[in-house]
Amino acid sequence: MAKEGFIGANRLKEKFRAYHQRATNNIERALYKGGLQVESDAKLLVIVDTGHLRASIATRLISTQSKTVVEIGTNLEYAAIIEFGSSPHFPPVDALEPWVKRVILNGVEAYEGEAKDVAYAVAKNISKWGTQARPFLQPAYDMNIDHIKVDVKEAIKESKSELKKK
């Protein structure tokens, strides 16, 4: 009698282990799918100059024994300045010159050194006012979080129904 109870406990334990694995896989799939949607929307929302920032936005799934995290972001240092803006500071004029040539002067300088003069004026303005935030990641997250929650709940329900089938 004791042996039969032990065998039943082992089967139940194995069934729960299998359920946990299925549920984990289903939830990870739902989270990753949501992360890809946030990434896609962030790429639509981000301001574009050269396209480097938009191209750098990526999603990755990080899963450990204790938790699963989906990261959506970029490795470019200036992304945070775009997302959150900056307080007043004096940026290097040389770093602004290529942007001035592309965006303000459209590649045409009226006189030698105009780009440097305009870049200095831009730097001076930033030193007084900082830069305005142009969020793209947070709004993309906000647009999708409710749908992601629904998808995760569905993944859990799907896992429960798979458990009942076996």
pLDDT tens-digit series, residues 70-112 = 999 999 999 999 999 999 999 999 999 999 999 999 888 889 8
Q: Is the separation of the CB atoms in 62 and 160 below 8 Å?
A: no
pTM of the entire predicted model: 0.84
Each domain of the chain, given as residue ranges in start order, spans 2-75+137-165, 86-131
